[in-house]
Structures are given as C-alpha cells and as structure tokens.
Amino acid sequence: MSEQIDELIKQDYEAGFVTDIESETLPPGLNEEVIRFISARKDEPEWLLEWRLNAYRQWLTMTEPDWAHVSYPDIDFNAISYYSAPKSMEDKPKSLDEVDPELLATYEKLGIPLHEQEMLAGVAVDAVFDSVSVATTFREKLEEAGVIFCPISEAVKTHPDLVRQHLGSVVPVSDNYYSALNCAVFSDGSFVYIPKGVRCPMELSTYFRINEAKTGQFERTLIVADEGSEVSYLEGCTAPMRDENQLHAAVVELVALDNARIKYSTVQNWYPGDQDGRGGIYNFVTKRGVAHTNAHISWTQVETGSAITMKYPSCILKGDNSVGEFYSVALSNNHQQADTGTKMVHIGRNTRSTIVSKGISAGQGSNSYRGMVRMNPGAENARNHTQCDSLLIGDQCGAHTFPYIEGKNPTATIEHEATTSRVSGDQLFLCQQRGLDAEKAVAMIVNGFCKEVFRELPMEFAVEAGKLLEISLEGAVG
C-alpha cells in the first residue's frame, strides 16, 4: 500500500515553463538605494517613498520568525533581486493589443486568456508578471459601476487619498518580518474599491506569475468595500521550475466597512520544488481583513504549490455582528511544508467565525494547521466553530495541528473539532475494483475530503481546484 502510494506521488509541474522575454531586472541586493529606485521607477509620491524607507528601517531591526513548523536554510536577502519588469513594459501598453504577444501567450498557456474567453467568463483580470501589472481587462465596464480595479501603482497616483487612508491600516508596517519587507519593496499588485451600496458586477481576478530567476515577488493587494457593497475576488499564482528557491512575500489587506461583504478566493500553485525538494517558492504571505459592523469577510484558499508556505489569512471582527470565514485546502506532497491557518479576532458583540481547514499530506510532505481564535473581553455572545481535518496519504508524511484559543469573554462560545484520517487501502481497492485507476481513485477520495471547501469557491475555480489537486497528487499512489 505505501509503495503503491509512493509511486503515485511523482508528478510534473504543468506551469513550469519559462517565458523568453526581455526584462529589466535589478541586480540582487537590498538597500535604501534599491528602494529609492523602485519608488522612482514607479514615479511615486514622496509620502510613499518615506513610507517604504520607514518600513525598511524597521525591517532591519526585526528578525525572521522561527515559530512555524517548517525548516529551510537561511535566506540571503541580498541574493534576491527586488525588481523585475518585462522590458516591453518600458513604454506601457495602452491596450491589450500592445501587450507583448509572448506575455499573452504565457497567460494563454496558464489558461488565463485575457481576450474573448474571459469576456465569456465575465471575469475581470489583473495580471501581475514578476513585479509589474500587465493588463487589467474590463475596466470600462467596472468604471460604469463606479468600481475601481487597477494596479496599485496606478491607484497611488489616481486615487491617492483612498490608498493613503487604507494602505497599512489592516496590516501595520511592522506587523511582521515579511510584511515589513513587503512594505519596503512591494512592486505592484491590485487595488480595488467598491463604492457604497454597489455589488461588483463581476468576479475580479488577479493572476500572479514569477518568471525571472532570482527575483522575489512582493505584491500588495488592497481591497476596500465601502458600506453595503459586495465583491468577490480571485487570485491565482504560478511560477516556472527553477532549482533555486524564490521568495514570495505578499501582503493583502481587506477593509469591509459597515454591511459590506468581501469574498477572497485563492488558488495557489507556485512551483513546489522537485521530488527531492530542490527549488520551489517560499510563500510567506500576510493576509488580513477588518470587518466593521455587520460586515462579512470570507477567505477561501486552495494551496497546492510552493516549497514552503506560511500563511494565515485572518479576520479582525471589529464591528458588532460581523462575520469571518476561513475555508482552506492545503496540500503538501513530496518535500513540501505548509504551516497555514487563520486568526479570528472577535472584538465586536455577536461576532461569528467559521474555520474549515482541510490539510492533505502525501509523500514526505508536512502539513500544519495553525489557527488562533481570540474572544476579546467585549465580544459578547461571540461564536466560533472550527473544524480541522487532516488526511494522510502514505506513511512518510506528517500532519500537525496547533490551535490557539483565547476566551476572555464568558458569554462567548468556541468549538474546535479535529480529525485525522488516511486514504485507506480499502477505499483505494473499492475504487479500483469498480474500474478506477489508483490515481483517479486518490484524486476522487481527496476531492471528496475537500468538498466543504470547494463548495465555497466560485464554480469555475472549484473545477480548476479539483483538477489542480488531481495533478498535484499524480504519483501519490501506484
């Protein structure tokens, strides 16, 4: 059985191609000059440069976190290049027709058509290639509704007040080591603003891709949903196969004002490294949302890629009756290590949170759920329900659960359920006896395990996530 499983885990990374385009890449190294360069390249206002420099100086005084259940060699932050842009971006394209065809072909290969297909899908896409936002489609239609969806570098100029008001308001500059680094060197990312009472007419979506070698990607996403508005946002990520590790340290901030709803879905498929654990992305991301009165924030993530993941999309339930949700599928195959979960901080009265975490470990993968639920003294009648399930495939992988529960209000209710199970030989044999090959069987069993989370994804993403899981598990049983 375990041999059978071992053999199934071998798989190819389908998004592992490199695009041959000319790019302008800063030499590796980090200092104030580099930050000034990035800021100047983006023609940023003085306040933002100062903000970056302040973050950099704070970062210098901080140390890398070492509490996560992952291990990796020290990162040499001076061996990373902090800015890379496709050269054809020098003269920024005015429309899709002017975008480098090679670049567009890359997105095609990734299954992200920027042209007609996504018209049909009705998805507005902002694509971030290495450090620069390449194309934002559907802007006119969104503008009609008053929705702002553009690269954050552009929003800094076109909507400086909004950006300045909210940037860093949810994740403070010095929140943690990687968020401070991101503040200092963030390259680009998406900015979304949904005006009062507006329901965003389409799903918004960003695709991130790291193409250049030895570059880091530090994108920054800021979503502000004004009172009574509603938005669903999707992000997808891929990177080429490379032998060296690459760093991805993003920050995502969500602001849901009174009665607003934000649904944020991620399908993360960064290059996970090869079967021996060489290469792959370090995915150290800070994601947090603040929910005001009656607001609703829902995080859904499907994490199949990256060599190492440390990521805890969180909700600050500040307003009364606000709701936070976290639905997660995290897969660790081969030598992947994932330490992921959430933080639900209940501040307001009658706040509710739901956590559903599905961790899958295969090969020699290590999967840890780390989640904090805190009921502040003022969180009258607040409720949390956590369900944390682990599935093991084979006998060399690991699953761990680190719940942190702090109840400071006697009227609050906190529930935590956890299960650990494995894909059993009996289940596999049942499937095979009915004609399914072992790979298909494992994929089906794992998909069944993840169903509660996939249900939360927008339809087309749910299908994609199912397929991605199937590909990521290829070779998990033989």
Partner 1 sequence: MLSIHDLYASVDETEILKGLSLEISDGEVHAIMGVNGSGKSTLGHVLAGRPGYTVTSGSVRMDDQDLLELEPEIRSRAGLFLAFQYPVEVPGVTNLEFLKAAVEARSRHYGEEPLNASEFLKQARGICDAVNLDQSFLRRGVNEGFSGGEKKRNELMQMMLLQPKVAILDETDSGLDIDALQVVADGVNSLRAPDRSFVVITHYQRLLNYIEPDYVHVLVGGRIVRSGDKSLALELEEKGYRWLEDEVA
Q: Which span sits near partner 1 by CB under 8 A: 108-116, 364-372, 395-403, 419-427?
A: 419-427
Nearer to partner 1, 207 or 454 (CB): 454
- Smallest gap from residue 447 Cβ to partner 1 (A): 7
- Smallest gap from residue 389 Cβ to partner 1 (A): 10
Q: Which of 308, 235, 137, 290 is nearest to 457 (CA)?
A: 235
Q: Is 449 in the site for partner 1 (CB under 8 A)?
A: yes
* Contact of 400 with 368, CB cutoff 8 Å: yes
Q: Is 62 in the site for partner 1 (CB under 8 A)?
A: no
From the list 156, 192, 239, 445, which residue makes contact with partner 1 (rule: CB under 8 A)? 445
Q: Is 450 in the site for partner 1 (CB under 8 A)?
A: yes
- Integer Cα distance of 394 and 422 in angstroms: 8
Q: How many CA atoms lie within 13 A of 330 on its CB side?
A: 35
DSSP string, 99-158: S-HHHHHHHHHTT--SSHHHHHHTEEEEEEETTEEEEE-SHHHHHHTT-EEEEHHHHHHH
* Contact of 283 with 321, CB cutoff 8 Å: no
The two tokens of residue 269 are 């498929």
From the list 37, 402, 427, 467, which residue makes contact with partner 1 (rule: CB under 8 A)? 427
* Contact of 323 with 352, CB cutoff 8 Å: yes
From the list 119, 424, 460, 463, which residue makes contact with partner 1 (rule: CB under 8 A)? 424
Q: Is 429 in the site for partner 1 (CB under 8 A)?
A: yes
Contact letters for partner 1, residues 377-416 (x by CB under 8 A): ----------------------------------------
Q: Which span sits near partner 1 by CB under 8 A: 20-28, 54-62, 152-160, 438-446?
A: 438-446
Q: How many CA atoms lie within 13 A of 165 on its CB side?
A: 11
Nearer to partner 1, 96 or 430 (CB): 430
- Smallest gap from residue 466 Cβ to partner 1 (A): 11
From the list 62, 145, 418, 431, which residue makes contact with partner 1 (rule: CB under 8 A)? 431
CB atoms within 10 A of CB 419: 10
Q: How many residues bind partner 1, per CB under 8 A?
A: 25
From the list 447, 457, 462, 465, which residue makes contact with partner 1 (rule: CB under 8 A)? 447
Q: Is 451 in the site for partner 1 (CB under 8 A)?
A: yes
Q: Is 297 in the site for partner 1 (CB under 8 A)?
A: no
Q: How far is CA 201 from CA 12, 99, 142, in A?
A: 37, 26, 7
The two tokens of residue 164 are 């300045």
Q: What is the DSSP letter of 448?
A: H
Q: Is 71 in the site for partner 1 (CB under 8 A)?
A: no
The kind and range of the H/E element at 252 are: strand 251-256
Q: Is 436 in the site for partner 1 (CB under 8 A)?
A: yes
Enumerate binding residues for partner 1 (CB under 8 A): 1, 4, 424-427, 429-438, 440, 444-445, 447-452
